[in-house]
Structure 1
Amino acid sequence: MGLMRTPEISEENAFVSRKGMPTSLSSSKTLSSSSSSSSSRASRNRKIAPSSNFSDSASEEILRNAESVIKKWDVNSKSSYTRVTSLFLHDREEARSFLKSTNDLREVMHFLVTSHSSSDKLVLAQSLTQIAMKRLEKELYHIVSTNREHLSPESVSRKSSRRSDDSVNENGIVSDNETEKVSESTMEDVKSVVDCMVSAGYGTECIKIYKVMRKSTVDEGIYRLGIERTKSSQIQKLTWNSREQLIENWLNAVKVAVQTLFKGERILCDHVFSASSKIRESCFAEITKEAAIHLFRIPEIIARIKGSPERIFKLIELYEATYELWPDIESIFKFDSTLAVKLQALSALVELGDTVQMILSNYEAIIQKDSSKILPEGGGIHSLTRTVMEFTTSLANYSATLSDILMDHPRAGNLNLPESYLDGPSSGDLPVSPVSVRLAWLMLVLLCKLDAKAELYKDVSLSYLFLTNNLNFIVEKVRSTNLQYLLGDEWVETQVEKVRQYAANYEAAAWSKVLSSLPEAATKGDSPAMSLEAARACLQRFSTTFKEECGKQTSWTVPDRKLRDEIKVSIARKLAPAYGQFYKAYLGIARGDQEAERKLARFGADDLGNYLSDLFHGTAVSRGSRPLSSRSRGCFATVI
C-alpha cells in the first residue's frame, strides 16, 4: 500500500525519495495513519496557506470535475482507447483541463488536510492524484520518446535563436519556422507535465523518466556524429591511419556537439525545469556529463600516444578546435555539477599544448643528432633540408594557434638566437611572436647541420655548391609560404646574401685554377706579350684545365633553373673576357701560321659557352649536346 503524498509548494519537493509507484488507498485505517502523517508533513513543509476562498462546496465541485476528467484517462481503465491514445494528441483543450484538474486537486488536498483530515474526500483526492500521476508519467514518456525530432537539440537551438510568424511557403511546404513552432509546442507540453508532477510531489518519477529518455538522445546524437565509446587502450592500439580518421571525425563532430547538441539540451532543461534551478542543473548534468567528458577525453588520449613528429599538425588542430569552443564550454557547463566537463576540456588543452612543445623540442634534437653521411650526388638538395622545410612551412600555416600554445606552454630553456639573426614582424617595441622565434631557431639548427654536412665533401668547391643549393632552396621555400611573414624580410635578405657568398666561394674554389692558366695580362684586359710557342702552351694549358673542370662538374647539379643560369653567367663573365683577350692576342701572333690557326680553331671563343651550358644538370653529357637556354645564350653572347 502506498502512503498518501501531500504536495509541497517548494522545489525541494522534487527530490523526495519514494519506493514504487503510487497506489490507491484501500482502507480507512490506512487513511487515518496516512492522513496523520501527511498532515504533519504538510504543516512542516507547506510554504503557502490554502486560499481563503476555499469552502466545502468549492472543494466538492473541484473533486467532481476532477473525477470525471481524470478517471476517463485512467491507464488501468478497461477502455482500450485511453490506454493507447495520448492525452496531448487527442484534444489539447482536454489536456489543459486534465492538468488544471490535477493542479486543483493539490489545493483541495491542502484544504482538506488542514480542515478535514479524516474526510473521505481526502482519500478520493489522493486516489485521483495517483491516477493522474500515472497518466502523466505515461504521457511524459510518450511525448519525449515520440517527439525526438521536435525535441532534438537542433530544433531547440534553432527555436532559441530566431522566431517568425511565417509557417508555410508558397509551395505549401512546412518551413523551418513551422517546425520551430511544433518544437516550441512540444517543449511546452513537456514543461506542463513536469510542472504538474513536481508540484504534486512526484518530481522523482518525472525526473527519472526525463533523464533516461534525454540521455539516450544525447548519446545517440554523439554516436551519429561519429564518436563511439572507446577505451584509451583501444585508441592506443589503432594504426595511425585509423587514429587519423578518428581525429577527423572528432574535429567534424565537436563543434556540432557543443554548440548544438549540448547547448540545445541545456536550453531544453532550462525551459522544462524553469521553476527549479536545482532540478534543471541536476538533469542537465546527468544527461550530458558522461558524453561530454568522453568527447573531450579523446584529444587527451591521442596527445599521450607517441608517434612521428608529423602528428603535431593534428594535435594543433585538436587544440585549436577545443580552444575556440572554450567560451561555449564555460557557458554551457557552468554548474558545479558539470565542473568535471570543463576540467576535462582544460586537461585536454594542457596535454595537447605540452605534447606540441615536446614534439618541437624532440624535432630539434632529431636535426642536431642526424649523423647520416649519405650526401646528395652533385651537391644537390639534402633530404634533411627537404624534410625540415616541409615540416616548418606546414607549421607556419598554424602560426596563430601555435603562437598561443607556445605562450601558454613555454619551452624549457631559452632560445639564444644570434644577435640580429631574426627581425620578425613586430609593432613598435612589441616583442617578436613566440612562433617566429621558434621557427627561426629551427632554421638555425638546420643551417648549422648543413654546414657540418658540407664538410663531408672532399671537394671544397662542391661543398660550397651544396651550401648554395640548400640555402637557396630554404630561401625560396620561405618566400613562397607564411614563413616569409613570420621570419621577416630582413631574415630573407640576409640569407639571400649568404647564397651569393656561397656561390662566389664555389666559383673561386672551382675556377681559379682555370683562370690562372691564362696570362695575367689577359685577366686584366691587356694584350699579353709572348712568343707563339708560349702562347700555344698557354692555350693548351687553359684548354686542358677548362675541359677537366667542366668534365668533373657535368655531374654536379643546381636544381633551381634561375640560380643555375646565374652561376653559369657569373662563371662566363669571369672567364670569357680574359680568354677573349688572350684569343685575340694569339690570333695576332699566329697569323699566317696555318698549323697554329688550326689548333686555335679547335677551341674557339664560342666553345666556352657550349661547355658551360652542359653544367649543373646532374648528368654527364657530351659537349654541346644540350642546347643553351635563351637566357644563357644571350648572356654568353654578351660576355664572350
Structure 2
Amino acid sequence: MEKEQSPLPQKSNSFSSSSREEKLRESDRSLSLGAIKFEERREKQETDYKEEDRIEEEKENDDKEQEEREEASKENVKEAEPSFIAISEEIDHFLGILASLQDVQDQISEPPELPESNIEKFVAMLEKEIATYESGEQKWSPDHDEICLLDAFNRLHKLTSALTPFSSDARYNHAMNRTGSVLHHAMTFLEDEFFSLLDENSRAKQQDPGSTSSKTKRPPSFSRQQQQPHQQHEQDRCDLAPAESSTNEDSPTYPPDVVERLRGIATAMISAGYVTECCEVFSVARHNAFHAGLSSLGCEKISIDDVQKMAWDSLEGEIATWIRAFRHSITVSFPSERELFDIVFSGHQDIANTLFSHLALGAIFQLLNFAEAVAMTKRSPEKLFKMLDIYEILRDLMPTIDAIFSIEASEEEPSSSPAMDLKSEISAIQSRLGEAAVAIFCDLESSIKTDTGKTPVPGGAVHPLTRYVMNYLKYACEYKNTLEQIFQDYQRSEKPSSFDDDGGDAPSGSTSNHENQKNNSNANDPKPFTAQLMEVMELLHANLESKSKLYKDQALCNIFLMNNGRYIMKKIKGAAEINELLRDAWCRKRSSDLRQYHKNYQRETWSKVLACFRDGELNVRGNVSKPVLKERFKSFNAMFDEIHKTQSSWVVSDEQLQSELRVSISAVVVPAYRSFLGRYSQYLDPGRQTEKYIKFGADDLENYIDELFDGNPSSMARRRT
C-alpha cells in the first residue's frame, strides 16, 4: 500500500525534464551539423563560382590574346603586302622597260618577264575602288582619294597600250585582255561621272523660283559596247534695252572645282581613246542645259505652222520673249559656253571648237526659225513694229555673232564654213523682214486712199483716220534709221519675190516713187523712207480736204480742217524724229494752211454779224432811221443767238486752238458791238423798247463767246429767263 502511494508524478517529471534536455542537446547537435553542412555547401558553391570565374577569365584572356595575334598577323600581312603607290611604281618601271624595247622589238626573241602578280594586284585594286564608288558607299572626291583614280586610269591605259605589241605571247595577251577589260570598265565609270557632274550642276543652277525647265534625262550610254495687229495702234515701242544680267548669269556655268574635275575626266577619256564617248556625253548634257535655260526664259520651241496660226496678241508676246532669249543667248550664254568648252577641252582646241560650233549653230538656227516664221506671217499694220524689233536685234548682234564664230570661220574655207552659212541665213531673214516692213508701211497709203466714209465726224472733231495715221507714223519714225536702211536696200534691189509669194502687188505708190528717185536723184532729194513719209502725209491731207466737203456749213468745214491740222502739227512738234524728217518747209506750209482755215471760218461766220454794225442805211438825210436801227438790232440778236446755239455744240478739243478762236472772235466782235451800242443805243426809247432790242451787253457777249466750241449746246434764251 505504501508503494502504491509513492509519488509517481515526481518520477515522471524527472524523466520528462531529462528527456527534453536530451532532445534539446540532440537538436543543438543537429543544428550544428546542419550549419556545418550549409557552410560547407556555401563554401563549396563559392569555390565553384570562383573556379567558373577563373575559367571564364582565362577564356577571355585567351580570346583577347587570339585577337591580338590575329591583328598582329593582319598587320604583318598588310606590312608584307606592297601599297598601291609601290605597285604603281613597279608598273611604271615595267612600262619604262617596254618603252625602251619598242625601237628594237624586231630583234627581241622573247619579251621581258611579265610582273603578272603586280599587274593583277594593280587592276584588282582599281576594280575594288571603282566598285566602291559605283555602289554609292562613297562619293568620288579626287581631293581626298587615297588612290588618285585619274592618274591610275592613265597608267592603266599606258599599260594596256604597252602590252599590245607583245600580245602574241600568251601571258602578255592574257594581261592585255585583263587590263583592257578594266580600262573599259574605268572609262564607263568616268563617262557616267562626267554626265552626272554636267547634269546635276546645271540642274542645280536652273532650279530657281519661276524656272519652268524640267529635269534633263540621262542619255543612252555611249560606251564602245553600245556604239553600234488694221486697227488703231498706240502701244509703246518694245523696250529693247539689254536686260540686266543677274549674278547667276554672270557667274561661270559651273563652280571652278567642278570645271577642273570635268577637265580631268575629259583629258583621261581622250587620252584613253574614248573621244567619241566623251564628246557625245558633253554635247548632250550642254544641249539639254542650254535649251533648259531657254525654257526658263519662257522661250519654247514653236513650229512655223503654229506661228502662222497664232493670234496676234499671243504672237506679240512670243516675239518679245524671243528677243530677250536671243539677246541673252548671244551676249551671255554663248560666251559662257565658249569659256567652258575651252577649259574642259584645254589642250584639244580642235575638239572644243567643233563641239561649241555644233551647239551654238544648232541653237541659233533653231532661234532663227521663229524669226523667219514671223516674217512669213500675213501682213498687217500692227505687225510692223515687232518685225522691226526682230530686224534690229539681228542687225545689232551680227558683229557679236561674227566674233563668236571667228575662230571656226578662220579654220575653214570661207565659202563652206558653217559661220558663212549662218551669216547668209541671218541676211536672208533680215531681207524678208525688210520686205515685209516696206510692204506694210506702204500699205498705209492704201488704207488712207480707201477710207472714203460718207458720214462726217460730229462737231468737226478730229477724224479717227487722222489719229490712227499720226500715231502710226509717230511710232514708225522712232525706227527712222532702221526704216531708211530698209527702204534704201529695197530701192537698190529688184522687186522682192515675197510680194509675189503673197499674191500681192508691190508697195502702193512705191515703185513709181523709187523709179523717179533713181532717175532724178540729187543731193537735195529726200531719202527713200522720208519721201514715203511725205507721200503719206500728202495723201492724208488730201483725204481730209475731201472729208471736209461732207459738211454743209462752210464754217464747220473749216473748223474740221483746223482741228485735224492742229492735231497733226501737235503730233509732229511733239515727236523729234518725225519733225526732223518732214523738215521746216513742210511745217511752214501746214501752218500757213491752218491760218487760212482760221480766216475762212471768221469770214464765213462773223462777216454777216459785223455787217449789222455798219453805218450805211442808218443815216437818212442826217437823221438816224429808227426802223432800220431796230432791224439791225433784231438781226444781230437772231444771228448771234443762232451762232451760239450751233457753235457751242462744235468740238475743238485742243485747248490752245479753242482759246485762239474765242480770243480772235472776241477781238473782232465785242469792240465793234460796244462801239455800235455807244453810237446808237440813245436813239431807242428807254425802258421797254431798249429791253426789246438791246438783249446783250458787251460783257455778256464776251461771256457767250467763251462758251463756243466746247461740245455742249446751250440756249441763251433759257439762261436769260
Give me the TM-score of the superposition, normalised by structure 2.
Answer: 0.66
Alignment of 1:83-232 (within 5 A): 83-85=134-136, 89-92=140-143, 94=145, 97-104=148-155, 118=169, 120-121=171-172, 124-125=175-176, 127-148=178-199, 150=201, 183-232=255-304
The verdict on how the C-alpha distance between 1:624 and 1:192 changes in structure 2, with shifts beyond 3 A counting, is farther
Q: Does residue 326 of structure 2 align to residue 254 of structure 1?
A: yes
Maintained 8 Å contact 2:198/2:286: no
Does 2:670 align with 1:609?
no
Conserved 8 A contact 2:156-2:183? no
Preserved contact between residue 338 and residue 356 of structure 2 (Cα < 8 Å): yes
Contact map agreement 2:644 2:705 (CA 8 A) in 1:
yes
1:89 counterpart SS class: coil
Which string of whole-angstrom CA distances, capped at 9 and with x for unpartnered residues, describes residues 266-290 of structure 1? 3322333344444334323443443
The residue aligned with 2:125 is 72
C-alpha spacing 1:251/1:544, structure 2 compared with 1 (3 Å): same
User: 1:301, CA displacement in angstroms?
Assistant: 0.7
* Stretches of structure 2 lacking an aligned partner (at least 5 in a row): 1-97, 106-110, 207-246, 409-416, 492-506, 518-522
1:509, distance to aligned residue in structure 2 (A): 1.8
- The letter of the residue matching 1:502 is Y
Change (3 A) 1:477 1:434: same
Aligned to 2:536: 442
- Any idea what SS the aligned residue of 1:90 has? coil
The C-alpha deviation readout for 1:561-592, integer Å capped at 9, x for no partner, is: 221121122122222333333222212444x6
Letter in 2 for 1:228: E
Q: Which amino acid aligns with 1:566?
A: E
Output the amino acid matched with 1:282.
Answer: T
Larger displacement relative to structure 2 (575-584 or 405-414): 405-414
Q: Is the 8 A contact 1:554 1:621 kept in 2?
A: yes
1:532 to 626, 644, 650: 626
Deviates more, 1:63-72 or 1:218-227: 63-72
Q: Greater CA deviation, 557-566 or 569-578? A: 569-578
Q: Work out which of the residue numbers 573, 581, 592 in structure 1 matches 2:675.
A: 581
Alignment CA distance shift 1:259-1:181 (3 Å): closer
Partners of 1:309 and 1:363 within 8 A in 2:
yes
Q: Deviations over 1:452-480 (max 9, x none)?
A: 11122222221111100001011112222
Contact 1:316-1:356 within 8 A present in 2 as well: yes
1:618 is aligned to 711
Asked if residue 545 in structure 1 is aligned to residue 625 in structure 2, the reply is no
Distance 1:324 1:120 in 2: 67
CA distance in 2, matches of 1:208, 1:469: 70
Deviation at 1:504, TM superposition (A): 1.3
| 1:287 equivalent in structure 2 | 359
The 2-side partners of 1:209 and 1:177 are apart by 24
CA contact (8 A) 2:114 2:172 kept: no
CA distance in 1, matches of 2:615, 2:365: 82
The 8 Å contact of residues 136 and 197 in structure 1, kept in 2 or not, is answered as: yes
- CA deviations 1:405-442 (Å, max 9, x no partner) are 344444743658999xxxxxxxxx89866655444433
Partner of 1:562: 656
8 Å Cα contact 1:319/1:352 also seen in 2: yes
Instruction: Give me the whole-angstrom Cα distance separating, in 2, the residues matched to 1:609 and 1:185.
Output: 86
Q: Deviations over 1:373-394 (max 9, x none)?
A: 2221111110101111221222
Query: Which among 413, 426, 435 is matched to residue 345 of structure 1?
Result: 426
Q: Is the 8 A contact 2:142 2:149 kept in 1?
A: no
Bigger mean CA deviation after superposition, 176-185 or 407-416: 176-185
Cα deviations across residues 42-69 of structure 1 (Å, max 9, x unaligned)? xxxxxxx96789999x998999877655
Contact 1:610 1:623 in 2 (8 A): no
User: Over residues 509-566 of structure 1, what are the superposed CA-to-partner deviations in whole Å (9 max), with x where a residue is unaligned?
Assistant: 222222223326699xxxx974333322222233333333333323222111221121
* C-alpha deviation, 1:309, in angstroms: 1.0
Judge conservation of contact 1:153–1:261 (CA < 8 Å) in 2: no
Answer yes or no: is the 8 Å Cα contact 1:457–1:463 preserved in 2: yes
Q: Which residue is equivalent to 2:511?
A: 413
- Given that residues 194 and 272 in structure 1 are in contact (C-alpha distance below 8 angstroms), is that contact kept between their aligned partners in structure 2? yes
The whole-number CA distance in structure 2 between the counterparts of 1:553 and 1:67 is 111
Q: Given that residues 459 and 556 in structure 2 are in contact (C-alpha distance below 8 angstroms), is that contact kept between their aligned partners in structure 1?
A: yes
For 2:672 and 2:181, locate their aligned partners in 1 and report how far apart those are by CA, in whole Å.
115
Q: For residue 72 of structure 2, what is the aligned residue in structure 1?
A: none
Aligned with residue 514 of structure 1, among 596, 605, 609: 609
In the alignment, is the contact (CA less than 8 A) between 1:378 and 1:555 conserved in 2?
A: yes
Alignment of structure 1 residues 231-250 onto 2, 5 Å: 231-250=303-322
Aligned match for 2:447, one of 345, 348, 366: 366
Out of 564, 573, 591, which is 1:470 matched to? 564
**Is 1:298 aligned to residue 370 of structure 2?**
yes
Q: Does the 8 Å contact 2:634/2:693 carry over to 1? A: no
Letter in structure 2 aligned against 1:555? S
Matched, 1:497 2:592: yes
SS at match of 2:140: helix
Q: CA 1:264–1:208 in structure 2 vs 1: closer, same or farther (change >3 Å)?
A: same
Q: How do residues 359-438 of structure 1 correspond to structure 2 at under 5 angstroms?
A: 359-410=440-491, 412-413=510-511, 415=513, 436-438=530-532
- The structural deviation recorded for 1:320 is 2.4
- Name which one, 1 or 2, has greater alpha-carbon Rg: 2
- Matched residue SS, 2:556: helix
SS in 2 for 1:327: helix
Does structure 1 conserve the Cα–Cα contact (< 8 Å) formed by 2:163 and 2:173? yes
In structure 2, the CA distance between the partners of 1:119 and 1:541, relative to structure 1 (3 Å rule), is same
Please give the secondary structure, in 2, of the residue aligned with 1:413. helix
Tell me, in whole angstroms, the C-alpha distance in 1 between the residues paired with 2:346 and 2:267.
9
For 2:646, give the aligned amino acid. Answer: K
CA–CA distance in structure 2, aligned partners of residues 520 and 120 of structure 1: 140
Amino acid at match of 1:606: D
Cα deviation 1:348-382 (Å, max 9, x = unaligned):
32222221111101122111221112221111110
Hey, what's the Cα distance between the residues in 2 that align with 1:406 and 1:510?
47
Distance 1:469 1:607, change over 3 A: same
Take 2:552 and 2:167, find their aligned partners in 1: how far apart are those partners?
A: 113
**Maintained 8 Å contact 2:648/2:709:** yes
Contact 2:294 2:300 in 1 (8 A): yes
> Residue deviations 1:81-120, cap 9 Å, x none?
2423599823347598433344445555665556786474
Counterpart pick for 2:690 among 597, 601, 605: 597
Q: Would you say the 8 A contact 2:394–2:426 is kept in 1?
A: yes
Instruction: Tell me what 1:308 maps to.
Output: 380
Aligned residue identity for 1:349? Q
Q: How large is the Cα RMSD of the aligned pairs?
A: 4.2
| Structure 1 residue ranges without an equivalent (≥5) | 1-48, 156-174, 420-428, 628-640
The corresponding residue for 2:545 is: 451
Amino acid in the other structure paired with 2:444: Y
CA contact (8 A) 1:475 1:492 kept: yes
Q: Return the alpha-carbon distance in structure 1 between the equivalents of residues 646 and 112 of structure 2.
A: 115
**C-alpha distance in 1, partners of 2:594/2:514?**
24
